[in-house]
Amino acid sequence: MGCVESLYSLVLFSVVLILAMSTNVNSGGEKLASVDFEIFGNVQGRWYTEDQGKRLGVNGWVKNTREGTVVGQVQGSHDKVNEMKVCLSKVGGPSSRIDHVEFSNERDIPKLEIHGFGIRYCQSSDKAQQQQISTLRPAPKELVASQLLRCLICPVIFISSQF
């Protein structure tokens, strides 16, 4: 096998590997899910929700609204997202009172759109704007995959142009 064929094989293998890494199945073989939530009651303790998210190993965000609710998004394996939904519905900070929780936009996702779990801060009183999901930094795996693909394709184009 010549140099060009070896390089093409390496590129093909790398592309297959990158595609496999970007499916909606995480390394444990579990499908990924995402859900938005809004918690009603005396619930202005975001730190408690952040701690729960980190403890369960889900990704997402949480923030207070000017209306006195807490909104956010959770992403991760279906099992972990469902476990977090139970926590959001039943468990709050020491001085909180959860009246009810609304879950929306529940869906399967091909890959994690959020890395880590954190608190966001709200400056607007527009409820629709508060719930809008902003663009977040991609998970590190995506950065590595895109950089790897870019590094592998450039030499192939150069070598191909030499023949």
User: For residues 125 and 120, what is the distance between their CA atoms, to the nearest angstrom?
Assistant: 14
Percentages helix, strand, coil for the chain (3-state, rounded to 5) are 45, 25, 30
User: How does strand 97-108 pair with strand 32-42?
Assistant: antiparallel
Cβ–Cβ under 8 Å, residues 48 and 35? no
The number of angstroms, rounded, from the C-alpha of 96 to the middle of its chain's C-alpha atoms is 27
Catalytic residues: 46, 64
Residue 7 to residue 160: CA distance in whole angstroms: 10
